[in-house]
Amino acid sequence: MRRIRPRRSPAVPLLIAVWAGAAAVLWLWWNNTPSIADNNSRILNAGRITGLLAGYLMALVVLQMARVPALERRVGSDRVARWHAMTGRYTICMVIAHLFLTMWGYALQSGKGLGGIVQQTVDSVNQLPDMGKAAIGTGLLVLIGFISVGWLRRLIPYDTWYHVHLLTYAAVFLTFWHQLSTGNDFAVEPVAKTVWYGLYGSVTALVIWYRILSPIRLNLKHRMRVQAVIEETPGIVSVLISGRKLHRMGAEAGQFFRWRFLAPGMRFSSHPYSLSASPRPNMLRITVKAIGDHSAGLRDLEPGTRVWAEGPYGALTADKRSRGKVLLVAGGVGITPMRTLFETLPGASGDLTLLYRANTTQDLALWDELAAISKERGARLMYAVNSPDGERPDISADSLRRKLPDIDDHDVFMCGPPGFAQEVYAALRGAGVPARRIHHESFEM
């Protein structure tokens, strides 16, 4: 067994860097702000600082969409997605505040008063350089923010939301130019203008490299195709994917790719699915439950169908481990990353335990494989299913302590539906497992 040396999460230094950037923006505003003598000056300067912060946050929004490996594989795709959603909300708030405060200040300055904001906005769009593009970009940002509201997001098909969300790139591009052409801070500070170009240029380069060039290189190199589709249990299928030197894709147990199958009706959809077996030189496998049009369509894939993949992503890997003993908890099709970890995590006999939650024993996908791994490795394998009358099994702090008296000395890896994950997380905390040793990824935003 190799020495357990988990990597430190880069989240803290990244957050420090983000706040340092925000402090630099505030300094730029303060350094170029004369004494504020009246209400009109206060309003205009509030518009300036909200505009500068909005521009800075836009760069962060795009950076969080770039799928940079240092973020996706170490911080975690779920955490980056939540950062992206939160930053997006702050950005839209800052943009709206900047627009309202600036137009209000200009309206007061020209004698129109508060009621003249609309007319002042129209005049500014028509007269100031790049304001027309900024107006279109602002409209796109508001549209994207609106369709990302929780209740509305759940009503919109994922593919529709995803492709509309990509308009963020266009919105940022359109709003960028007026920042430099009408922003007083960049007019009086050439160094600040150069830094701003560098910030947006660096983020653009990362997007082009990791979202366009890297996937093209990966797929041209490995040339993946569907080899077979196997039904595991009712509603769950495994897709076998062949290719060249697939073990050199850099994937680790617990990670996932975003998959695009070039079949009729599926070629424009890209969805994340975890590997359900360790990569082989000429074979990858994903196991998917039919819960939507895309996942349901996988069962009809024909052998030979071209496959386009992006990744690998995810931080639910062995690097998170800090203890010798490990408990793996899977709910439903969340068994896929747990199965690869169950097979590959280093450990002596008795160090590994897998708890698999499903509705019935017929829903225990990959069970024969799990049993074989358990027998070969001397690992403990348990399942929890509903009783014949539909009663849910007891997964509480007390039941977990009965099954594993030393559970508080375990690392726990967990994957499953959000409700299940929350229930198990509460039970683990009640059983004495520290939060820092409960490792899971969730894409609920």
Which residues, 6 or more positions from 174, have their beta carbon under 8 angstroms from its beta carbon? Answer: 133, 134, 136, 137, 140
Asked which of 183, 213, 243 is the last residue of a domain, the reply is: 213
Residue span of the structural domain in which 39 resides: 11-213
Q: Which of 174, 163, 154 is nearest to 95 (CA)?
A: 174
Q: Are 263 and 229 in contact (CB under 8 A)?
A: no
401 exposure class (CB count in 10 Å sphere: 0-12, 13-18, 19+): middle
- At residue 8, the pLDDT reads 53
Same domain for 249 and 374? no
Q: Are 134 and 175 in contact (CB under 8 A)?
A: yes
Same domain for 177 and 64? yes
Domain of 414, CATH number, reads 3.40.50.80
| One-letter amino acid for residue 347 of the chain | G
Q: Which of 229, 239, 238, 234 is nearest to 361 (CA)?
A: 234
Same domain for 414 and 356? yes
Same domain for 207 and 337? no
pLDDT in tens, 264-314: 988 888 899 999 998 899 999 999 998 888 888 999 999 999 999 999 999
Same domain for 60 and 177? yes
Asked which of 279, 313, 347 is the last residue of a domain, the reply is: 313
Asked which of 313, 332, 355 is the last residue of a domain, the reply is: 313
Query: For residue 141, how far is the Cα from the chain centroid?
Result: 19
Phi, psi of 340 (to 5 degrees): -70, -40
Query: For residue 426, how far is the Cα from the chain centroid?
Result: 23
DSSP 135-165: HHHHHHHHHHHHHTSHHHHHHS-HHHHHHHH
Side-chain-side CA neighbours of residue 58 (13 Å):
29
Same domain for 31 and 105? yes
Q: Which of 131, 142, 135 is nearest to 183 (CA)?
A: 131
Please identify every stretch of the chain with a pLDDT value under 70, giving residue numbers as ranges.
1-10, 442-445
- At residue 227, the pLDDT reads 97
* Tokens 């593009």 -> residue: 133
